[in-house]
Amino acid sequence: MSEQAQARYGIDPYLDWVKQEGLPVTEDYGLDLFKVATADWPRYGVKGGTVHMKGRGDFANMFVFEIPPGKSTTPQRHLYEEVVYVLEGSGSTQLEFSDGVKRSFEWGARSLFAIPLNARHRHFNASGRERALMVSTTNLPLVMNTFHNEAFVFASDFDFIERAGKKEYFAGEGDLITVRPGNHMWETNFVPDLAGIELKSWGDRGAGGTNIMFVLADGTMHAHISEMPVGTYKKGHRHGPSFHVMCVTGQGFSLMWYEREQDFRRIDWKHGVVLAPGDRQFHQHFNTGPRPARYLATAFGGLRYPTTSANRVSLIGAKEGDKPAVSKSVKEGGDQIEYEDQDPRIHRLWLEQMRRNNAEPKMGKFIPTPAEFLTPTAAE
Ligand SMILES: [Fe+2]
């Protein structure tokens, strides 16, 4: 035993727990969730893996669950929050609260739902032939490192009944809470299909983009979905860590770079890819396909409960009446790069990809097209 271990010094109870569970860990800036390593996870009775994105920050992680055909997870309850996104397959989830109330709902690929805090839950694969693959974003690192007691986290019988939500929240219905463009919230526990949900205009982020913020199971976990119209891309911006961005529909790519870096890290999108920009790392998302491109972002700290002051400044604004820093120009002390201020290489990089994809750029009214991209047929 090392001196450090003997002295019980510098311990990370969360990482120790992951090791003890026997879960493989996959770590990267961006990766394909269909390819992460999984192993038998006795606790859940299915295969599981842990994903530690470089940009996950201190509070959040991801679990991948692979439910074999015809199988189900063992019933669980835990004192960490969990937002689940279905990658593949179909099935159902049953929830049970200690007052005897039961809820269940049926999910398929691109469903999103949350497990209300400490609610007993069980996932069933409905198919006898195909596996179901789900990924969850959780705040277990925060919870385990705070209490460092597994029995407390997984065997507490305290009920947060106020988080159960309305019955309709498990049937694909919800309440739209209008705040302001970019911050409209859809309160629910279950979204059957992220590809189909109606989004709202978000003028500040540029180029006709739309989005909706979620409040899921009245929790502190963040989720939002955002869409870029055909032929467009969003403005670059930065914020704190833990935002896990997953491609939902369409095709495109993201760039990530720190302020003083010369080069961009590029992650190409497809269904199943996740990327997580680091703390205050600039990033930008681009549609390069013939369809609108949608992505889901999950994180620790939402609009209702930002939880950290960095999230509050970023998502809501430093004080009443302020713009969220994430949609305020860096020239005004915010965290967004306006189109006219971005590195000219960025627009060229996107135009080159658009040309390769034979896709028509529609950014001419936001940013001038360089001469070499103006051809008689491709002129905007
Ligand atoms: Fe972002």
Report how far ligand 1's centroid is from the alpha carbon of 220 (Å): 18
Report how far ligand 1's centroid is from the alpha carbon of 95 (Å): 32
Report how far ligand 1's centroid is from the alpha carbon of 249 (Å): 17
Report how far ligand 1's centroid is from the alpha carbon of 183 (Å): 14
Report how far ligand 1's centroid is from the alpha carbon of 125 (Å): 33
Q: Give the C-alpha separation, 179 to 13, whole Å.
A: 39
Whether the CB-CB separation of 230 and 221 falls below 8 Å is answered with no
Report how far ligand 1's centroid is from the alpha carbon of 280 (Å): 10
Report how far ligand 1's centroid is from the alpha carbon of 237 (Å): 6
Report how far ligand 1's centroid is from the alpha carbon of 48 (Å): 27
At residue 379, the pLDDT reads: 47
Report how far ligand 1's centroid is from the alpha carbon of 37 (Å): 27
Q: Give the three-state DSSP class for 281.
A: coil
The residues facing 46 across adjacent strands are 41
**DSSP-derived secondary structure for 227-245:** EE-TT-BPPEE---S--EE
Report how far ligand 1's centroid is from the alpha carbon of 379 (Å): 30
Q: Give the C-alpha separation, 317 to 142, whole Å.
A: 24
At residue 377, the pLDDT reads: 55
Which residues neighbour 76 within 8 Å (Cβ) at sequence distance 6 or greater?
43, 44, 120, 121, 122, 154
Q: Is 16 exposed, middle or buried (0-12, 13-18, 19+ CB in 10 A)?
A: middle
Whether the CB-CB separation of 14 and 63 falls below 8 Å is answered with no
At residue 203, the pLDDT reads: 66
Report how far ligand 1's centroid is from the alpha carbon of 355 (Å): 26
Rg (CA), the chain: 21
Report how far ligand 1's centroid is from the alpha carbon of 356 (Å): 26
Report how far ligand 1's centroid is from the alpha carbon of 243 (Å): 7
Report how far ligand 1's centroid is from the alpha carbon of 244 (Å): 9
Report how far ligand 1's centroid is from the alpha carbon of 196 (Å): 22
The per-residue pLDDT string of the chain (380 residues; one tens digit each, 9 = 90 and over) reads 677 778 888 999 999 999 999 999 999 999 999 999 999 999 999 999 999 999 999 999 999 999 999 999 999 999 999 999 999 999 999 999 988 899 999 999 999 999 999 999 999 999 999 999 999 999 999 999 999 999 999 999 999 999 999 999 999 999 999 887 778 899 999 999 999 988 877 666 667 788 899 999 999 999 999 999 999 999 999 999 999 999 999 999 999 999 989 999 999 999 999 999 999 999 999 999 999 999 999 999 989 999 999 999 999 998 888 889 998 999 999 999 999 999 999 999 999 999 999 999 999 999 999 988 886 554 44
Angle between helices 13-21 and 140-147 (to 10 degrees): 110
At residue 140, the pLDDT reads: 98
CA distances from 288 to 32, 148, 232, 292, 348 (A): 19, 45, 8, 9, 13
Report how far ligand 1's centroid is from the alpha carbon of 256 (Å): 10
Record the pTM. 0.94
